[in-house]
Structure 1
């Protein structure tokens, strides 16, 4: 197996370069077909997301892929060459495993990349550009990603504001089922936090906004209820989690209001998430018993601490990838070499038998013992011829160049790969 991978990502190229080299879903199949129609490209797959574009192929030369990318997008080599990276064989395998396991993502451990890689593989399968080698590589990559997630905590800690809100809510309430969320101000971040809380078990959502129509519109998304902004304080008693993001120039929830709400709730806990800048909630609210207030900086501190934990887990994940790369390479190299040995033996044995049959009339006067001796002598000659190349193949079975040697020996002895 000879692998070549060429790509660029958020680490090597700004968005204006990434978008110029991106492949739309409609263009992927034709792009894949065009690539494998090229000489010396046997299999291919393209991963194209907002953060990366990568082409992996069963091919001996990554320059073929660079040429294809530039020609397909009608862009000069010079304008993208500094942004592109290339990997061959073992390093290409390692990169595929790391990407699929979310170790190369903008946010390490994020779950979306695995689904994106699976979709890219499905499209390549449908296009008929995946064969034995890429199929083996990608199926192993999916298994490695699963192993990384199950054996490390790389995806467990919240690293976004919305997920951090869910994590903190669980610490305060434990089970979120039956809890009510109130959104004050219909910002995108507040909506996202509410969505994650809803998925985590929160049962109902109240929405209020200075523009009531927007509150009604957002409430429909959550199958919740819209509350007029001028009356939102009357409804806070029924809310367990309050998310604010109004953009008001002053506090909309002060200590006195929060104390009244806690009193009406009979001291049941309430979780305030203030993601507005300027802040919507007076920091003094945090001094009230059973009132838990987190602003955007507090949430960022949680995220930063969790990121440190993810990086620790990523080190464990990298070791898993290293071990899996070694095991996969060993398997693939053996798979390339062992069939060559078998095919080589079979090929030369056929030549030996054919020559004996072709000269059978010259051997008819030989006794059975003499004919058996001829048979044994020719077998011995074949074995002596085969011994050096087979020994070299066995020694190279675990070497990255083993596949190249197997290919060379097949050419020398005119053995066709099966």
Structure 2
């Protein structure tokens, strides 16, 4: 991924290393793409691949299997699919359009765009908005956060008066918190290895921050535990959870201890499923919930694809007419 704070550095490196002067770097939580205008499309794409390898210090042979490229109208078509949410993990999600716009505007502000790149990206914004209006591809709230809320309601009922403990405060936790806070929860506790971050977020959302080394004591009073750290190893062991169940106050119905593990790799020992009074779910368990919500959107794919095809040909005819005298965007 590319840091937003260091994009100017990345663009300068790209220009110096490849000679490419017009490009947009799109870097989100699950994609890194570079849209560029090069005098030699295929050669330009190869240069971008080498740039990615050198800039991120990744061996080119290790990186190669994860790369893909689109040239000419295929690059425009792909960008339109991205901007409209057709290429997202969750079909039709709307956040990506704002991300595309942000990275385009950043490249433009830094002086790394030309007429051709601007034409394609401004059209991508139009296409994304048009598809959202003319189809139901983005209808309904479908996200990890909404799936978590649905799962909780299906398993233990309304969130009203429930006490929720969030472990780990990365991007996924932020998305989940956004949906949880729409519910009438009793209390939210947040914990992170960096206590200052926990305090900052807690202050913003009206939650309580707890230190990471105080987790065990706070587990006892929680109705719902949601864990999404970036730890490479298990942080909640079977024995820890069993001890929590045994020590919980008599006033808490231990049958209602719901644990949702959103981490990859997992934060919670899968063996916790066998503990009486514990309901443990992971990302895989959210798939069916999301799939059910996506059924209606899937039927809209063909309508969205028709718009993309129409607009891709339209913008490419215009670009051809511009006759700039050099190549077209190559995607890496």
- After superposition, the Cα gap between the structure-2 partners of 1:148 and 1:202, relative to the gap in structure 1 and judged at 3 Å, is farther
Higher mean alpha-carbon deviation, 92-101 vs 24-33, is at 24-33
1:220-299 matches, within 5 Å, as 221-222=201-202, 223-224=207-208, 236=221, 241-243=223-225, 246-249=236-239, 251-252=242-243, 260-261=251-252, 272-275=257-260, 276-277=268-269, 278-279=271-272, 282-283=275-276, 285=277, 294-296=279-281
Match of 2:163 in 1: 181
Please give the TM-score of this superposition, normalised by the length of structure 1: 0.51
Greater Rg over alpha carbons, structure: 1
Q: Is the 8 A contact 2:50 2:60 kept in 1?
A: no
The separation in 2 between residues aligned to 1:251 and 1:179, in whole angstroms, is: 24
The separation in 2 between residues aligned to 1:119 and 1:296, in whole angstroms, is: 35
Find the partner of 2:25 among 34, 46, 51: 46
Q: Please, what is the CA RMSD of the aligned residues?
A: 5.1
Find the partner of 2:297 among 283, 296, 313: 313
Q: Is the 8 A contact 2:24 2:36 kept in 1?
A: yes
Find the partner of 1:30 among 12, 35, 39: 12
Give the drift of 1:320: 1.0
Match of 1:192 in 2: 173
Give the drift of 1:69: 1.9
Please give the TM-score of this superposition, normalised by the length of structure 2: 0.62
- After superposition, the Cα gap between the structure-2 partners of 1:329 and 1:26, relative to the gap in structure 1 and judged at 3 Å, is same
Q: Is the 8 A contact 2:136 2:300 kept in 1?
A: yes
Match of 1:397 in 2: none
Q: Is the 8 A contact 1:23 1:48 kept in 2?
A: no
- After superposition, the Cα gap between the structure-2 partners of 1:141 and 1:219, relative to the gap in structure 1 and judged at 3 Å, is same
Give the drift of 1:156: 4.3
Find the partner of 1:57 among 36, 45, 53: 36
Structure 1: give runs of 5+ residues left out of the alignment: 1-17, 263-269, 286-292, 337-402, 411-418
Tell me, yes or no, if structure 1 residue 89 matches structure 2 residue 72. yes
Secondary structure, counterpart of 1:130 in structure 2: coil
Tell me, yes or no, if structure 1 residue 124 matches structure 2 residue 124. no
Tell me, yes or no, if structure 1 residue 324 matches structure 2 residue 324. no
Secondary structure, counterpart of 1:103 in structure 2: coil
The separation in 2 between residues aligned to 1:68 and 1:50, in whole angstroms, is: 24
* Higher RCO (C-alpha under 8 Å, 6+ residues apart): 2
1:253-402 matches, within 5 Å, as 260-261=251-252, 272-275=257-260, 276-277=268-269, 278-279=271-272, 282-283=275-276, 285=277, 294-296=279-281, 300-307=284-291, 309-310=293-294, 313-314=297-298, 316-317=300-301, 319-330=303-314, 332-333=316-317, 335=318
Give the drift of 1:48: 3.7
The structure that is helix-richer by fraction is 1
- After superposition, the Cα gap between the structure-2 partners of 1:70 and 1:229, relative to the gap in structure 1 and judged at 3 Å, is closer
Match of 2:125 in 1: 142
Q: Is the 8 A contact 2:26 2:33 kept in 1?
A: yes
Q: Is the 8 A contact 2:163 2:186 kept in 1?
A: yes
Q: Is the 8 A contact 2:131 2:304 kept in 1?
A: yes
Q: Is the 8 A contact 2:164 2:187 kept in 1?
A: yes
Deviations 1:253-290 (A, max 9, x none): 7699798536xxxxxxx96422343327955x5xxxxx
Aligned length: 291
Q: Is the 8 A contact 2:82 2:96 kept in 1?
A: yes
Q: Is the 8 A contact 2:258 2:280 kept in 1?
A: yes
Q: Is the 8 A contact 2:42 2:71 kept in 1?
A: no
